[in-house]
Copies of this chain bind each other. A is one copy, B any other.
Amino acid sequence: MSDKLIQLVDIPQRGDARGGLAVAELGGALPFPVRRVYWLFGTLPGVSRGFHAHKQLHQLCVCVAGSVRFTLFDGRREENVVLNSSAKGLLIGPGLWREMHDFSSDCILMVFADAEYDEADYIRSKEVFIASTHVA
């Protein structure tokens, strides 16, 4: 595992006089084949989301409107990052507990994942997650 929990990916921005055009390409900014795309929007004030880790899944999170704060936790250390730009993607690999806080009312958070939904890949108990990080 990398020393830093927060792994940000630059997303090329191809702006022109007609308006913004942000491009993220596999082999470029997207570091894996995308098997699932989903997005969060309309999150109510004060609501937090996430509160799980994955065993295998890799995800790239991009906040294309508004802002959101991510908290990542590897069982020992916790780091926070605010996503508020189409120009930065947050890479989240396996073995990281993630929480999303402080959604702005206009937040649209895109999530690109390298596998389809699989409930068996989730760790939804923080206690179980912490225990798993201290076994290996």
Contact = CB atoms under 8 A, between A and B. Distances in A.
A131 interface: no
Interface string A83-112: 000100000000000000001001010101
A108 B64 contact: yes
A123 interface: no
Interface stretch (A2-10, A16-24, A69-77): A16-24
Interface string A10-47: 00000101111111111100100111111111111001
A42 B19 contact: yes
Number of copies: 2
24 contacts: A18-B47, A18-B49, A20-B42, A20-B43, A21-B38, A21-B39, A22-B38, A22-B39, A22-B41, A24-B36, A25-B36, A25-B116, A25-B117, A26-B35, A26-B36, A27-B116, A30-B36, A33-B35, A37-B112, A39-B64, A39-B86, A41-B65, A65-B108, A108-B108
Contact of A19 (B17, B23, B27, B40): B40
Interface-central residue, A17, A103, A116, by most chain B CB under 10 Å: A116
Interface residues of A, number: 37
